[in-house]
Amino acid sequence: MPSTADDYRNAALERMGDATQLKRLERYPLAMYAAGVAVECMLRAFRHQDLEHQAHHDVAHHFRACDAERLGERARAKLRGPVATVHLLWLNSFRYSHEQRLRHHLNELKYYTRVKRGADVLKVACTELMDAALQIVTVGDERWRNP
């Protein structure tokens, strides 16, 4: 079933809501997965119409494929950092990961060596990913409503 840009935008908003609820329930792996899907959906909503979908689940590729005119240079500049964060922290395969496997993946990244001793690495990663995803979805939605 082909999706329209409107479908992707609406799905992004729903998945971000799902991610927020899952995080509240401390279901961090699923919250992270849903947040990444929300980002994918929002970026697909802005995909340049002349480009075929070949990004698979590469958030950075989706970002590069956005129609510069529709997204706008200002929004593009705002999203560079959050997109880099999601690109680093999110994998589509999180949907298959149990909590221990995800913790192992985060430790392999060595991204969280700065996390305070005793802090929950998974919770910190989830919070950082969710913050970046929310920024992407919010900026995308603002651009959608006010082109």
Q: What is the pLDDT of residues 36-66, one digit of tens each?
A: 999 999 999 998 766 555 557 789 988 998 8
**Residue 138 — very low, low, confident or very high, per pLDDT cuts 50/70/90?**
very high
User: Rounded to two decimals, what is the model's pTM?
Assistant: 0.90
> What letter does residue 73 receive in the DSSP assignment?
H
CATH number of the domain enclosing 9: 1.20.120.330
Range of the domain at 61: 5-145
CA distance 36 to 33: 5
Q: Are the C-beta atoms of residues 16 and 134 closer than 8 Å to each other?
A: yes
Q: Are the C-beta atoms of residues 130 and 23 closer than 8 Å to each other?
A: yes
Domain count within the chain: 1
CA nearest neighbour of 57 among 76, 77, 41, 70: 41
Cα separation values, 52 from 47, 56, 130, Å: 9, 11, 28
pLDDT digits (tens, 9 = 90+) for 91-107: 888 889 899 999 988 88
